[in-house]
Structure 1
């Protein structure tokens, strides 16, 4: 169930007032450090780290434990591996809907937006000539090394493939997707998109698909793509829906078809969260 941020905010404020009056008054009798376990998308690492530091400074009795990964992998750790978790934040809110609700979570709040970009550095081959009009021709060159995240583990990976599918239509270049993928080396795939950044900066990769927020956080150069293909404008959702990628489903051997849609993050509280009270308190702060 997707609920509005305003509704969640109201419910959390009610809880927070009760929490402050009850649980907070008992903190002297509790262990000196309590914890909140958060599985989250790799693209949220830097902003969540900043939130963690500020929250712990104001609430030193609580230890926020962040565990970044691809969003599908985060969900798998909950529904397959049964690892303890309080909060899960996904780079695609639909991962929570399709892999966690209703067995492991009851609601899902959309809380952030993004868009896809193609990142590079000054040392990237053809860096002086690459643009929003010719990037796909650059990637077709045999001496160019480019990469994306594993689409089975990280939404940024299947979104990279969707961008290329949409580009085939937008640039009127039949066969573009098949050509790029057939010439692509799987050794340039990483479990989560942020792991590609070190390859870019070391010069071992020329181009990598990332979210715009991640590119800005790491001071990377990037190509701003047209709205028709960057998955960043909800007004093009019907057009984005022409692209799709099949990924592993909820059960072993099952397949889940993900269609293109504007990039929207989601966050939820896990039903059997081992530290539920403090997790809800953190959500009210967030």
Structure 2
């Protein structure tokens, strides 16, 4: 039986007001280039530029970035896209950030090692579930005791959204989720049926726009995104929510190959960060990554997990950053 998670609106406690969060999200969605903005107005010599997974846009722009500026006296500038797009931009040389943040640890290592970096640190974890509008027919069923897979299999056109699997780990995790659920619950054809039905959103920051507007029932998202948008979140079993490392072997049995030919295996949803080898401001980059590791409470307040197993280092991590 699938359990319904607590409504994130009752779990936030003290923190950014809903109006501020929604104003930011609206601004982010309206920015086609993906550049959300600069949190402060310090000089560029004291600026850190971060190119990050889109699912962290609100956490970094509203919480971590301003705290970093206040503590370190450096300006924060963030830009947010699907992690696959982030890696492509760096490989093609169209973006030159100091810090790179990925929603899939192996994606960063596969695409950037060893030419563009030879280290990274894992700093936060997440889980995949379904954010929904309880006032829609499907959302009302998700709020009840019906198994989630019996609900979304009835989705019609535009009822269900996923991030584009060819652009974003959240998208290919949705495909892998459908594959794992198909096996676990003996749902023949479930994966392909859901991929055929779901609307694919190329801009991760817009994934929940339709749900918020009341013209889409639900979307496959990370938990922190439901918190960001103040939407109810349907929790899924650990066996396929990519949130429990003890199920890593099971996750790895599900795969998705992107249109670029990248074969992604299912992996726990963990974020990692690195500083580019040829960063314009490597000192600022290392300071920012260190700040991420030293302020887990900021990340937890944004709906992310930072347990005893994090942070973890990989490769030749600079001594100043080593967890």
Q: TM range, normalised to the smaller chain?
A: 0.7 to 0.9
Partner Cα distance (1:175, 1:83) in 2: 40
**Are the aligned partners of 2:117 and 2:274 in contact in 1 as well (CA < 8 Å)?**
yes
> Any residues of structure 2 matched to 1:4-15 within 5 Å, and which?
none
Q: Could you tell me which residue of structure 2 aligns to residue 175 of structure 1?
A: 189
**1:106 to 1:265, Cα distance in 2 relative to 1, 3 A:** same
Q: 1:138 aligns with which of 148, 151, 163?
A: 151
**1:133 to 1:168, Cα distance in 2 relative to 1, 3 A:** farther
Partner Cα distance (2:44, 2:99) in 1: 22
Q: 1:243 aligns with which of 234, 250, 254?
A: 254
Q: Could you tell me which residue of structure 2 aligns to residue 114 of structure 1?
A: 126
Partner Cα distance (1:93, 1:153) in 2: 15
Partner Cα distance (2:53, 2:192) in 1: 28
Partner Cα distance (1:32, 1:69) in 2: 22
1:81-139 CA-partner distances (Å, limit 9, x unpaired)? 34211000111111111111111111111111111011101222232322575222222
**Are the aligned partners of 1:241 and 1:259 in contact in 2 as well (CA < 8 Å)?**
yes
Partner Cα distance (2:243, 2:43) in 1: 45
Uncovered stretches (5+) of structure 2, i.e. residues with no partner: 1-41, 293-323
SS in 2 for 1:37: strand
Q: 1:260 aligns with which of 256, 266, 269?
A: 266
How many residues in Structure 1 have an aligned counterpart in Structure 2?
Answer: 248
What's the CA shift for 1:33? 5.2
Partner Cα distance (1:32, 1:273) in 2: 14
Structure 1 runs of 4+ aligned residues shifted over 3 Å read 30-33
SS in 2 for 1:127: helix
Larger Rg: 1
What's the CA shift for 1:248? 4.7
Partner Cα distance (1:267, 1:59) in 2: 18
Q: 1:226 aligns with which of 237, 241, 251?
A: 237
Q: Could you tell me which residue of structure 1 aligns to residue 289 of structure 2?
A: 283
CA RMSD of aligned residues (A): 2.0
TM-score, length-scaled by structure 1:
0.81
Partner Cα distance (2:204, 2:136) in 1: 18
**Are the aligned partners of 2:81 and 2:204 in contact in 1 as well (CA < 8 Å)?**
no
- Residue 158, structure 1, aligned to residue 187, structure 2: no
Partner Cα distance (1:46, 1:132) in 2: 31
**Are the aligned partners of 2:273 and 2:289 in contact in 1 as well (CA < 8 Å)?**
no
Partner Cα distance (1:143, 1:283) in 2: 43
Partner Cα distance (2:205, 2:43) in 1: 35
SS in 1 for 2:258: strand
Q: Could you tell me which residue of structure 2 aligns to residue 46 of structure 1?
A: 58
Partner Cα distance (1:275, 1:132) in 2: 52
**Are the aligned partners of 1:132 and 1:225 in contact in 2 as well (CA < 8 Å)?**
no
> Any residues of structure 2 matched to 1:22-171 within 5 Å, and which?
34-49=46-61, 50-60=63-73, 62-130=74-142, 133-143=146-156, 145-171=159-185
**Are the aligned partners of 1:152 and 1:248 in contact in 2 as well (CA < 8 Å)?**
yes
What's the CA shift for 1:197? 1.4
**Are the aligned partners of 2:43 and 2:75 in contact in 1 as well (CA < 8 Å)?**
no
